[in-house]
Amino acid sequence: MVPGIADQEWDFSGLRKDERLECRAYEFGREIAMRDDSLSDWKDLNEGLQGVYRSQGFTKPPLLKDLVFQARRELGLSPDAFGITSEQKYLLWELTVVGGRWDVLVAFPEWPESPYLTIEEAERLKRLEVLRQPALPELTEKQWADLLLPDSVFEGRRIELVIPDQFKYYECEKAFKAYLRLYFPEKRKYGRARDFGKP
């Protein structure tokens, strides 16, 4: 027990193991917000989020809470209650695909005022189940295609391919599948594509 400090602020001994990543991001973010630090004061976090704040119009590292509040406004999230649509989930995923679980800062309206543990465990788990569901199955054909562009939010190996003018669609498809099988065999471990959201 720490005199003058609520147990929810420091005693994480009862926290489930499968919540640790989100809790760490949430509480680390609260620490930054309470100190009113710029993201530039936190080297690792700044490197991870610099693409996000630049895409939102910031020309220099903003305060973390300013970045989160602007993301909430752009997504149209309620400031009073957790609730997120499929489209909002994709946009949230796009904003926060930088490692860690920074999406909880945007999606949990209690942040940064309330400690993570003040939210009932059952409610936290229900929210995390929603956030952990993949956003990709709900992408449009254009969104799928844009994920492979050089300015994609994903990091990955950069390759250069030629689409022969004389190839028909099925020939391009066959060649690309062969290319994946030969040069990216590790992708096969994720299994065959399901029918959801197939372009």
* Residues 91-147 pLDDT 10s: 676 655 444 567 888 899 999 999 999 999 999 999 998 888 766 656 678 877 887
Model confidence pLDDT, tens digit, residues 47-58: 545 555 555 566
Query: Is residue 135 packed enough to be buried (19+ CB in 10 Å), middle (13-18) or exposed (0-12)?
Result: buried
Where does the pLDDT of residue 187 fall: very low under 50, low under 70, confident under 90, or very high at 90 and above?
confident
C-beta of residue 10 within 8 angstroms of C-beta of residue 1: no
C-beta of residue 121 within 8 angstroms of C-beta of residue 108: no
Maximum alpha-carbon separation in the chain: 76
- Token readout for 10 is 């420091």
> Would you state the pLDDT for residue 64?
78
| 34-40 LR contacts (CB < 8 Å, sep 24+) | 34/112, 36/63, 37/63, 37/64, 38/62, 38/63, 39/63, 39/64, 39/67
Distance, in Å, from the CA atom of 161 to the CA atom of 159, rounded to the nearest integer, reads 7
- What average pLDDT does the segment 162-177 reach? 92
- What average pLDDT does the segment 174-183 reach? 91
